[in-house]
A and B are shown apart, each in its own frame.
Chain A
Amino acid sequence: MMDNTCNNKKNDENINIVLKVKNLSAYFADNMVVKNISIDYYEKSINAIIGPSGCGKSTFLRSLNRIHETVLDARVEGNVILDNIDIYDPSVDPVEIRKKIGMVFQRPNPFPSMSVLENVIIGPKLHGGLSKNALIELAEACLRRAAIWDEVKDKLNKDGTSLSGGQQQRLCIARALALNPKVLLMDEPTSALDPIASAKIEELMKELKKHYTVVLVTHNMGQAARISDYTSFLMSGELIEHSETSDLFTNPKNKQTEDYIMRKFG
């Protein structure tokens, strides 16, 4: 179960690996945009991914819940192990995987034809098994957990798209939480939001860490430094460095990482 490819420190503390990425490569047709990346993600941690635009951050993230392959001619090689199961094993149904790994997108995307309430419960409703009352209770719990309950409790039947951008994004987080995922993937969730809305989401992510493993792509180095436990630096599809956030920012092992950080913060 334990593997020490990446981080020995945490292994000593006996913290579980929730998601294990092994030799992952991703392609658009013949164009390899993620190159042989291996990372271990520990339980209840926030893991930032930084790197220049176009370096493959989104593609890497989208390979973790098998969304990448839904694009025409896109494919993935390698293994991603969740609960001792390789999600890329031919016997595995991607639909089942996506229920266990939630995703939040760059731009808030609540379903335009649905109310706030419907948006939150749509996942569990699709998969069935819950009564109407249970769904409503679940909705409240998830909205609370996404720190938006107080703002929307009086507009549960309004269109999801009538909320502000920041609220919509937290609604989308609540929607992902409703399936009680192990892992939450977030692709630049604050890049379309103003600073105040972004700060709220950052606060929320710190709370979410208590229950979930978060993998966060961010364009904002400050954000990575503020809230993440581990940071990976990607460049041209390669993983240049992955270490504890404080180490990566104060004492990068790699020259390229150092240059990038210097340029961004300098």
Chain B
Amino acid sequence: MLLCQQNLAKKLLMVFKMKLTAKLEERLGISLMYIVVLSIIILIFVMFILLFKMSWPAITKFGFHFITSKEWNPVKEQFGAWPFLYGTIITSILSLMIALPFGVSSAIFITEIGPKKLRIFLGTSIDLIASIPSIIFGMWGLFYLVPFIRETLTPLLKNSIGFLPFFQGPSFGISLLAASLILSIMIIPIISSLCRELFLSVPVTYKEAALALGATPFEKIKLAVLAPSITGIVGAAGLALARALGETMAVVMVIGNSPHVSLSLLSPGATMASILANEYAEAGADLHLASLCYMATLLFIVTMLVNSISRFIIKYFKPKAFRGL
């Protein structure tokens, strides 16, 4: 009897110990994860500080004037970011304007119109575009898109809407337009996949409500798919924009990297990211390097902002009625 009790006590103790170690392990695991996550955040912070420190000479020298100053001349040690800011804005906005209709309509087609059995296949195919390394886009752009713009697209544009200021001057193919087109292809999958998720999350009951009112399939999409998703689409566009702002490799190869501001989309230009990649290695003077870092800091801040705002929109602006339906 006593033996039996002792045995029981032993067993209990063992179980208790096992539980204790299990608990300890769990705690350790969780703390480890905390450390990992924290160090990632710290790393980003440190990167920013470092960048800021390296740009300090340029910041003290040019101040905010850096942003609006048009001259970028390493020989004369004159550094202004406006041409690159301009190139970045133009190429991102243009690429967004091209990519948005394609991205949204591909998402509509895949989720609402095309055969439901092909949904996964089509979706994955588009997503795969996003996994192509950007250098490959750059090469394709240089070998095919650039000649295509020079020989086919330019005459077409000049003959139809050539009077617009956006299509003046000679065309070498290498241009803001080429960069924008490449960027748009690269961001279509982002928009498409976010929109697909968005459209699939719209409760079926809205689609049925629209149909029950005698809406045609197209009206149904407008009423019960697009309208409730508007804010989400804006968020998706923002995330795509952030990607376009920062894309470097493909742009470097087709934009020409010339620090000039021109209204014509056919002329070469440069973006903040492209000039960084292009000049960083050969920047001799300290001020040149500091100016590049200053630009990098600006790019860092802008992409972070666009990214966070878009994420915020996507997360918090879902119609309340979606919940629980």
Which residues of A approach B to under 8 Å, CB–CB?
Answer: 65, 67, 70, 72, 95-96, 98-99, 102-103, 105, 107, 109-114, 122-123, 126-127, 161, 172, 175-176, 179
Q: How far is the CB of B274 from chain A (nearest CB, A)?
A: 40
Are B322 and A102 closer than 8 Å at their CB atoms?
A: no
29 cross-chain CB contacts under 8 A: A67-B211, A95-B214, A99-B214, A103-B209, A103-B212, A105-B209, A105-B212, A107-B205, A107-B325, A109-B203, A109-B205, A111-B206, A111-B227, A112-B228, A112-B322, A113-B228, A122-B213, A122-B223, A123-B213, A123-B214, A126-B213, A126-B214, A126-B215, A127-B214, A161-B320, A172-B209, A175-B209, A175-B213, A179-B214
Are B208 and A70 closer than 8 Å at their CB atoms?
A: yes
How many angstroms from the CA of A95 to the CA of B211 in the assembled complex?
A: 7
Are A113 and B227 closer than 8 Å at their CB atoms?
A: yes
How many angstroms from the CA of A99 to the CA of B215 in the assembled complex?
A: 8
Q: How far is the CB of A138 from chain B (nearest CB, A)?
A: 14
Contacts of A65 in B (CB 8 A): 212
Most chain A C-beta atoms within 10 Å of own C-beta, residue among B210, B214, B216, B227:
B214
Once A112-B321, A113-B230 are accepted as A-B contacts, the answer to whether A105 and B205 lie under 8 Å apart by CB is yes
Which residues of B approach A to under 8 Å, CB–CB?
Answer: 116, 203, 205-216, 219, 223-224, 227-228, 230, 319-322, 325
Are B206 and A112 closer than 8 Å at their CB atoms?
A: yes
Query: Residue of A at shortest CB range from B214?
Result: A99
Contact of B219 among A110, A114, A126, A176 (CB under 8 A): A126
Q: How far is the CB of A175 from chain B (nearest CB, A)?
A: 7
For the complex of A and B, list the 9 residue pairs with the smallest distance between their C-beta atoms, beginning with the closest. A99-B214, A112-B319, A103-B212, A161-B321, A123-B213, A112-B321, A113-B227, A109-B205, A98-B214
Q: How far is the CB of A106 from chain B (nearest CB, A)?
A: 8
Query: Residue of B at shortest CB range from A160?
Result: B321
Contacts of B216 in A (CB 8 A): 95
Contacts of A113 in B (CB 8 A): 227-228, 230, 319
Are A98 and B219 closer than 8 Å at their CB atoms?
A: no
- Given A105-B209, A126-B215, A179-B214, 19 further pairs, Cβ under 8 A: A65-B212, A70-B207, A98-B214, A102-B212, A103-B209, A103-B212, A109-B203, A109-B206, A109-B209, A111-B209, A111-B224, A111-B227, A112-B321, A113-B230, A123-B214, A126-B219, A127-B214, A176-B213, A179-B213
Contacts of B212 in A (CB 8 A): 65, 67, 98, 102-103, 105, 176
How many angstroms from the CA of A114 to the CA of B219 in the assembled complex?
A: 15
Once A72-B116, A113-B230, A161-B319 are accepted as A-B contacts, the answer to whether A96 and B214 lie under 8 Å apart by CB is yes
Contacts of B206 in A (CB 8 A): 109, 111-112
Contacts of B213 in A (CB 8 A): 98-99, 122-123, 126, 175-176, 179
How many angstroms from the CA of A103 to the CA of B209 in the assembled complex?
A: 8
How many angstroms from the CA of A240 to the CA of B40 in the assembled complex?
A: 66
Contacts of B207 in A (CB 8 A): 70
Q: How far is the CB of A10 from chain B (nearest CB, A)?
A: 28
Q: How far is the CB of B230 from chain A (nearest CB, A)?
A: 7
How many angstroms from the CA of A113 to the CA of B319 in the assembled complex?
A: 8
Q: How far is the CB of B248 from chain A (nearest CB, A)?
A: 38
How many angstroms from the CA of A65 to the CA of B211 in the assembled complex?
A: 10
Q: How far is the CB of A31 from chain B (nearest CB, A)?
A: 18
Most chain A C-beta atoms within 10 Å of own C-beta, residue among B116, B207, B208, B224:
B208
How many angstroms from the CA of A113 to the CA of B223 in the assembled complex?
A: 9
Most chain B C-beta atoms within 10 Å of own C-beta, residue among A72, A112, A172, A176:
A112
Q: How far is the CB of B267 from chain A (nearest CB, A)?
A: 42
Are A70 and B228 closer than 8 Å at their CB atoms?
A: no
Q: How far is the CB of B63 from chain A (nearest CB, A)?
A: 45
Are A112 and B320 closer than 8 Å at their CB atoms?
A: yes
Q: How far is the CB of A255 from chain B (nearest CB, A)?
A: 36
How many angstroms from the CA of A70 to the CA of B223 in the assembled complex?
A: 17
Q: How far is the CB of B276 from chain A (nearest CB, A)?
A: 42
Query: Residue of A at shortest CB range from B216?
Result: A95
Contacts of B230 in A (CB 8 A): 113
Query: Residue of B at shortest CB range from A62?
Result: B208
How many angstroms from the CA of A109 to the CA of B223 in the assembled complex?
A: 13
How many angstroms from the CA of A112 to the CA of B216 in the assembled complex?
A: 19
